[in-house]
Amino acid sequence: MPSTARSKFKRLLFSGLLVLAAGQTAQADDALKARVGVLRLSSSAPVFIAQDKGYFRDAGLDVELKFFDAAQPIAVATTSGDIDFGVT
């Protein structure tokens, strides 16, 4: 292989690797963020399990759990925009 063809091949290979690396970084940074209001009760167990097992992360979600003492404040927080979703 002539040296010019070899250097072109190396540049093409390097460019392809850069594109792949940039694509992987962009996917990790593109996770949708959500604030979820939950109670510290067994009724919120599915949310806790999904968080612990990484189901949200695998689905491309960055979930932040906000804990409440009663269901009514979760409804108020959802309506006011303090949280995105509520589970009661």
Per residue, what are the HEC states of 21-84?
HHHHHHHHHCCEEEEEEEECCHHHHHHHHHHHHCHHHHCCEEEEEEEECCHHHHHHHHHHCCCC
Quote the domain boundaries for residue 3: 1-30
pLDDT tens column, 10-52? 566 555 555 555 555 445 567 899 999 999 999 899 999 999 9
Q: Are residues 84 and 42 in the same domain?
A: yes
Q: What percent of the chain has pLDDT over 90?
A: 61
Q: Are residues 76 and 54 in the same domain?
A: yes
CATH code where residue 39 lies:
3.40.190.10
Residue 23 vs residue 67, higher pLDDT:
67
Q: Are residues 85 and 60 in the same domain?
A: yes
Q: Are residues 15 and 41 in the same domain?
A: no
Q: Are residues 67 and 77 in the same domain?
A: yes
